[in-house]
Structure 1
Amino acid sequence: MDVRSSAPVPPPGCPAHSAGGRVPLYKPEFTADPQAYYAYLRHFGPTAPVDLAPGVEATLVTDYQTALRMLQDPVNFRKDSRRWRAQAEGRLPVGSPVVPTLTYRPNALFSDGAEHLRLRQAITDSLARVDMPRLARSTEQVSDFLIAHFGGRGSADLLGDYAKQVSLMVFNELFGCPADIGDRVMFGTSGMFEGVNAEQAVGVLFGACGELVALKRSRPGDDVTSWLLQHPANLTDEEMVYQLALLLASGSEPLRNLIGNTLHRVLTDEEYARKGGLIDEAIDHTLWENPPMANFMAHYPATDMEFAGQHFRAGDLLLVSIGAANTGPDLAMARKTNSRAHLAWSAGPHGCPAKDPARQIAVTAIENLLKQVPDVVLAVPEQSLSWRPGPFSRGLVALPTRFTPVEIAHRTSSAPAPAPAPGTNPVAAGTKEGGGRWSQFLNWLKA
């Protein structure tokens, strides 16, 4: 990209004086106040030069209509990151924390054309078979189980104790994970995003997905994994593993943030307290103003081209800033007339195929929590809350709360097993007496 030589002066406190006028999205100042950055980035026009990490350059699309044009144009903008010119030319720093997220894998997210259509159709057809009332019941069961663990003490971190666990466990249920495989799926998926032993976590997740595929080939069930295997696309075992890992990882992380960010809004916005808790509205507002994936949807120009008043070379990295595009000053009327026209689920041929199940899980999880602990409030001042660093997702580090202690009387739950210590073999840890959290939930259901 040709960076303008007359870039606007960054606002006070904005560390945007990096080489070439690029704005870093990896520093604490961005995490603390992304909207101030988005306001500044709009001065560049519909696109802006950014650094995702030291030495990883990208162009951020900050304008809603410009983002739609790119998302809906698979001919000129491709998803296969093997086209990424900086990576192909060896210009990316070794060990960069953001590169693995953008590196090609043979799944629907990174494919184009006929291959994308084949993989995408298998996924959308399988997800279309999800029974939404059954999904709501499963989510409520998971919610009850988790509240049973922390309800009696009258306090909880609604990120670590609830939002994170709900998303992982309901996805385990959707995909038909038995106890031991489900424990490892939870370890692997959460580890990928926590940054601790991430390489080990990815290996555990892929290994668990491989075992799940083998199990469902021999003993199919009423679950997404089995439906994918039965689809006319005839996915190979390798293709199955990559699609499952994609769905489990890319589904649970945004869902965790959606639940957490919506709870944050409900607990900090007096408007929702006055209205009596309109959860659907709170979710819509969160998806507009504080979306779980803030900057993502990587695309690569297929050829050298002019776009949004700038020149791009084939293979340049462009990302959509959902956080900036959704909150553009010219969208006030659109948000009132179409409350779900935001870009949080993406758009075009790569739009999120799981948005309906994800929304159902979020609504049910939040509603059941507020029903069980109706007087829940923040346990710390709002200004002391911190957000997880990184350019892609938007989620709290923790959401400490307090409430009147409650008991979930219709189930008897054992005490939760401690998390594996750093360096512990997660496979072994998950098979010891008591098992992991998923094993405990399955035992709790049988009690």
Structure 2
Amino acid sequence: MSSETRRDAFATGCPAHGGRTPLYGPEFAARPRQVYDALRRYGAVAPVELAPGVPASLVISYNAALDVLRDPVTFPKDARRWQRSVPSDCPVLPFMMYRPAVNLTDGAAHTRLRAAIADGLSRIDPNTVRESVERNVDTLMRGFSEKGSVDLRAEYALVLPMLVFNEILGCPPEIGERIVTGMRGVVENVDAADNNQLAVKAVAELVALKRARPGQDLTSWLIEHPSGLTDQEVIEQIFLLVGLATETEQNLIVNALLLLLSDDRFAGDLSGGNLPVEDALEEVLWADPPVANWAISYPTQDVALHGVLLPADQPVVIGFAAANTDPAAMSMSRAGNRAHLAWGAGPHKCPAQSQARTIASIAIERVLDALPDLELAVPTSGLEWRPGFAQRALVSLPVRFAPVHIPPRPTPGTQGMGRAGGLAAALLDAGPRRSNPLTRWWRGE
């Protein structure tokens, strides 16, 4: 099929959406794999709609996705030309708009920002991260272990990454709560513009605090880096890191727990006490990655990709979930295979995957170890998936178990990234302070 013919095929989709398949709403959230399979009739790239009136091209071929991710010259990240074509109230604009962040820049600017982030992450002691995760895991589990039931998303996976990354960033609890509240609204397109401002303002307060009183934390290291990042650049890098910590990490934990608790391939290992956590994580990263569709680029001129002509200045979205389940990719053996695209590829590959794996592995291992008879409280058909084109995320993960008592751990010193460790206690001690949105999430309200 010629490029022109394939481009004409873009008009054969849903007439109500300009011939494009919508990647939003409860229908897509409930059955994304069926949507991806149906889109394969278009070839390597399919016409989709990210929100009402927001057309895009979704790359659903594994090899085509690699070609895009490895070619930032043809597929640049700068969204500003596209932004001029959409109204200011576009629901996904706060989520997709240009920022001077490492994942949204190319060339020398990207190299400079990535060096600062990579150097900062390299200074984080893995043992300190592990201790932080274990301490916060135990604190959270003590809050529900004697109840016999819990929503593991609201009271565990949602809160844990934020606790750990707040310590990594040296972020005080009262600032961290506002950052996460705003970030969640941006990702879920709930009052996105207002929540974007809430998050940015809170991060700006953190940067001002650390410029005045630096510490042994990632925020201070970004400020002090020889690359000479401006305050705005530091704010944007932290905005990105918090988004990865709160959204991607919680989805990875929840999706892996769901797999372990519902898939017969893992049930025997769980009952026998051998927790195949790494196997479950790899399976999720292949088949149900926490970020399903992202790594958006904006070609500055019409460009052919695997026989499909992509229009200039229109978003090109990498379908991580679709590409990983491309029949060509699924022919590869997955045993010990980390060739999936869940962390990206090329110059924009995720620089924090080591920390992400540590948090997820410990979170899953410790909750399964502490609650060995853990099981889903509802059938998998009763679980609800959150809407949105980018994420693959459950609304809740209700489970039940035999109540157990988890004794307190000794409290370590507060050096280095432990300076923000009081947030877990703040959440547990919040009591009836219902004005605190993060506390309401933590309590599953």
Query: Which of residues 169, 190, 195 in structure 2 aligns to 1:175?
Result: 169
Query: Which of residues 181, 184, 187 in structure 1 aligns to 2:181?
Result: 187
Residue correspondence of structure 1 range 402-421 to structure 2 within 5 A: 402-410=400-408, 414-418=428-432, 420-421=434-435
Query: Which of residues 73, 84, 95 in structure 1 aligns to 2:89?
Result: 95
Does structure 2 retain, via aligned residues, the 8 Å contact 1:417–1:436? no
Q: Does 1:261 align with 2:259?
A: no
Query: Which of residues 35, 40, 43 in structure 2 aligns to 1:42?
Result: 40
Q: Does 1:143 align with 2:137?
A: yes
Q: Does 1:131 align with 2:107?
A: no
Distance 1:146 1:27, change over 3 A: same
AA matched with 1:154: G
Distance 1:364 1:297, change over 3 A: same
Residues in 1 aligned to 2:291 and 2:125: alpha-carbon distance in whole angstroms: 26
Does structure 1 retain, via aligned residues, the 8 Å contact 2:385–2:393? yes
Distance 1:137 1:182, change over 3 A: same
Q: Cα RMSD over matched residues? A: 2.5
Does structure 1 retain, via aligned residues, the 8 Å contact 2:11–2:20? no
Query: Which of residues 212, 230, 243 in structure 1 aligns to 2:224?
Result: 230
The alpha carbon displacement at 1:415 in A equals 4.6
Gaps of 5+ in 1: 11-15, 439-447
Residues in 1 aligned to 2:315 and 2:252: alpha-carbon distance in whole angstroms: 26
Residues in 1 aligned to 2:234 and 2:440: alpha-carbon distance in whole angstroms: 25
Does structure 1 retain, via aligned residues, the 8 Å contact 2:154–2:441? no
Does structure 1 retain, via aligned residues, the 8 Å contact 2:120–2:218? yes
The alpha carbon displacement at 1:194 in A equals 4.7
Q: Does 1:320 align with 2:302?
A: no
Match of 1:218 in 2: 212
Structure 1, residues 181-238: CA drift from partner, whole Å, max 9, x if none? Answer: 2333333333433544444433332222222212222322221111111211111112
* Aligned residues with identical type, % of pairs: 44
Residues in 1 aligned to 2:441 and 2:27: alpha-carbon distance in whole angstroms: 35
Residues in 1 aligned to 2:84 and 2:361: alpha-carbon distance in whole angstroms: 43
Distance 1:288 1:190, change over 3 A: same
Q: What TM-score do the two structures reach when normalised by structure 2?
A: 0.88
Match of 2:372 in 1: 374
The alpha carbon displacement at 1:418 in A equals 4.9
Distance 1:396 1:216, change over 3 A: same
AA matched with 2:44: P
Structure 1, residues 70-91: CA drift from partner, whole Å, max 9, x if none? Answer: 100111110000132xx323xx
The alpha carbon displacement at 1:371 in A equals 1.5
Match of 1:444 in 2: none
The DSSP-based 3-state class of the residue aligned with 2:251 is helix
The alpha carbon displacement at 1:95 in A equals 2.8
The alpha carbon displacement at 1:376 in A equals 0.9
User: Aligned residues, how many?
Assistant: 420
Residues in 1 aligned to 2:171 and 2:34: alpha-carbon distance in whole angstroms: 43
The DSSP-based 3-state class of the residue aligned with 1:152 is coil
Match of 1:441 in 2: none
Match of 1:13 in 2: none
Residues in 2 aligned to 1:332 and 1:163: alpha-carbon distance in whole angstroms: 29
Distance 1:393 1:19, change over 3 A: closer
The alpha carbon displacement at 1:6 in A equals 4.9
Residues in 2 aligned to 1:343 and 1:419: alpha-carbon distance in whole angstroms: 42
Match of 2:70 in 1: 72
AA matched with 2:383: L
402-411 vs 239-248, which moves further:
402-411
Match of 2:301 in 1: 303
The DSSP-based 3-state class of the residue aligned with 2:154 is helix
The alpha carbon displacement at 1:180 in A equals 2.6
